[in-house]
A and B are shown apart, each in its own frame.
Chain A
């Protein structure tokens, strides 16, 4: 690449990056640094004195049964949410790829949930499924299923997964449709001529070629389930009943803001930071690969 033609100004570029840089330093790097620092401090309950304790907070957090429980909850929740949201979206996208008429109509209706805030999505499903006035809860009970997400931890988890997955269907649908359109039709036709039926064509050609999209969505959906679903948990279950739906992000919030256990909350923040860095790294490795495959 030839060197870009640029403007010769010496001072102006600093002025241009200044606003972004200032906000980044004040609201991102300084707090992140503070979190790192505090994660190695031990404060007395009144916040009067603090002591540098190196990795004690991490040791305590990682051996705390309620933190381990929260890791388990987060993994179950993320895997279930990603699986449900992606399977439903893939099925719908494959169907949408088949129809000619009404494609735009289906897409328009399919993208609505994207615009709904996660917390509101949670509240909508709570309205449908809460034991006292939820219409679907009443129907479930009439069908003989003892449905109670307020007291039963598994039911609460199912409710959260449904709400979180519902919201993510639009996003996955759009990406799967784009991925399907990018598959060369000639390949599918060749397989058809060789006598491969529709199901066989899907599993041997379409699905493997869709792998990059699927993998990308897997990372995005996991990130979503880890971080963006705080609103759903906070609005629907508040981590309960018991601690059966307390995800990692919810626990950081709860320990830091409600229970005021600062050192532990900071250590948890740092652990989350490591998770985000790992997820982002995976995501960018994927992008690089896509470039190589052209």
Chain B
């Protein structure tokens, strides 16, 4: 290891601290805004330190305040978003692991055709087929339903590829041993494959949860009713109706509530998050 002068180390720390201040500032400032009175927010610049209204703003927002702005209580919004995020993550993992299992551990006609059919969906993001997909949703009556918010987003080539890659590293002897011991495909799947895939599943879950929580275009298209909105969409609607008497302090509380849950997931499950991120891009 090359010796490094203390001055250079100090500079490195300084740059990193400035970087973090810039990266964290918008989130921090939103938090600050959510602890001030409406009058303080309307008279910028806002102080750099949190105000004394934390309890009052958050109680007001949680018990009816947000409902007065957007028409829907924050509980419903958070519930919707959680259902969508968890639904997408779990759904994607289930259908991907099943199809990867079929493609790696079975031999059947059209196996590679199916694989390519799944693979090519990488090249068809929602953005390039907005209108026709919307029409399919209307035809199936899936507008304003949880199924409509979740199902079209759970087909994923990335997750299938990831599981396929991992399954290929599992030695054939393991399958052979299981078969000699009389285990059928389901037994093998549940007793051997699933336990082995635990870390991959955890890593993927974190990434997909964030993916689901931060969806924008799709929820915007398939929800008309306010009580089916995710919190991101609801926040956008609150901001766009902004006028002289917008309750900015409550909007800021909503923003915090939309930001904090995914941040907690990323920070608390950091090890799996980083792993999932690196894996899912290979």
Contacts and interface: CB of A to CB of B under 8 A. Distances in A.
Residue in A110, A120, A192 with the greatest tally of chain B CB atoms within 10 Å = A120
Residue in A12, A125, A262 with the greatest tally of chain B CB atoms within 10 Å = A12
Contact of A20 (B96, B132, B221): B96
Given A16-B98, A265-B131, A276-B128, A253 B217 contact: yes
B55 interface: no
Interface residues of B, number: 98
Q: From DSSP, what is the main secondary structure of chain B's interface residues?
A: helix
Interface string A105-124: 01111111111111111011
A29 B270 CA distance: 35
A53 interface: no
B30 A257 contact: no
B13 A99 contact: yes
Interface in B82-135: 94-96, 98-99, 101-108, 111, 114, 117-118, 121-125, 127-135
B196 interface: no
A124 B27 contact: yes
B136 A235 contact: no
A231 interface: yes
Given A123-B239, A133-B44, A32 B155 contact: no
B86 to A, nearest CB: 15
Residue in B101, B121, B151, B213 with the greatest tally of chain A CB atoms within 10 Å = B121
Q: From DSSP, what is the main secondary structure of chain A's interface residues?
A: helix
Contacts of B155: 20, 23-24, 27-28
B23 A20 contact: no
Given A113-B23, A116-B262, A20 B160 contact: yes
A10 interface: yes
A contact residues, range: 35 or more
B12 to A, nearest CB: 4
B162 to A, nearest CB: 13
Interface string A15-57: 0110111011111111111110010000000000000000000
A189 interface: yes
B179 interface: yes
B128 A272 contact: yes
A95 B15 contact: yes
B255 interface: yes
